[in-house]
Amino acid sequence: MSEISLISTNIRQDSKPLRIAVLVSGSGSNLQVLIDAMQAGALPIEIVGVISNREDAYAITRAKDADIPVAVLSHVASGKRMGIKTFENHASSQLALWQPDLIVLAGFMRVLSADFIDNAPAPMINLHPSLLPIYKGLDTHQRAIQAGERHHGCSIHVVTAELDAGTVLTQALLEIHQRDTADSLQARVQKLEHQLLPWTILLLAKGALSLDHAQAANQQSMSLPTLPLKLYLND
C-alpha cells in the first residue's frame, strides 16, 4: 500500500472529490503525478482543467492523453505573445466555467496580479523549489549552492500578490551534497516535489489542512505563527 493510501485511511472520507484546475508552463511532471494518483484512486480529486501559457508545454500532451480539458493561452490571434492582462482575462473566464475548488500552480512561470488572485473562483497554491521564505523567485538551486547551504528543498504556499510570500503549508527537505550541481540538485528536489504535492492536496481534500486558516495566518501580525502546519519529507 502506498503512503498516500495509508494516510487516506486515517482521515475522514468526503463523498465529493476536490475539483482542481492546474496552471502550467513546462513539462508537467507534477501534473502527471496528480493525474496518475487521480486515476489510481489514491487522491480524491477531479482535475477539471489545465491552463498553459505556453503552446509548446509538454504538460498539454499529458492532459490531453488523460482526457482533461486544456486551455492554451500563449498567443493572440495575430501571433503576438499574449500579455499578462489578456492572459488573466481569458484564464479568469475559463476558471469561471470550470469552477474548481482549488487552483494549483505547478511549474507555472508567469507572475499573476493581485486582482486576478483576489477574484479567482478558488484559492491558489504554488509549488516553489526552495525552502521558503529563503530563495524566492528564480535560480533557486544555484543560489542555494553558491550560498553554501546545507539543506534545500521545496515548499507549497498560498498564492498572494507578493511573489512567493504567501503562507507556507508544507515543505520537503534534503541535504545538499558536496558534488551537487544546480542540475543535479534540481533533479533531486523534483523527486521531493512529486511526493509533496499529492500529500498536500490530500491533506486539503480531507480537511486535515485548511486554506482558510492559512490565509488568516498570512494576514495576522508577524509576531504570531504563520505556519499552521508543516509536512517535512526527507530525501
Residue list for the binding site for (6R)-10-formyltetrahydrofolate: 81, 126
151 annotated active-site? no
Give the residue carrying C-alpha cell 509533496: 196
User: Catalytic residue among 128, 141, 157, 194, which?
Assistant: 128
Query: In whole angstroms, what is the distance from residue 217 CA to residue 195 CA?
Result: 25
Name, in order, each residue with C-beta under 8 angstroms of 208's C-beta and a sequence gap of 6 or more.
11, 229
Name, in order, each residue with C-beta under 8 angstroms of 24's C-beta and a sequence gap of 6 or more.
31, 50, 51, 52, 57, 59, 60, 106, 107, 108
Residue list for the binding site: 28-30, 81, 126
- Which residues are the active-site residues? 128
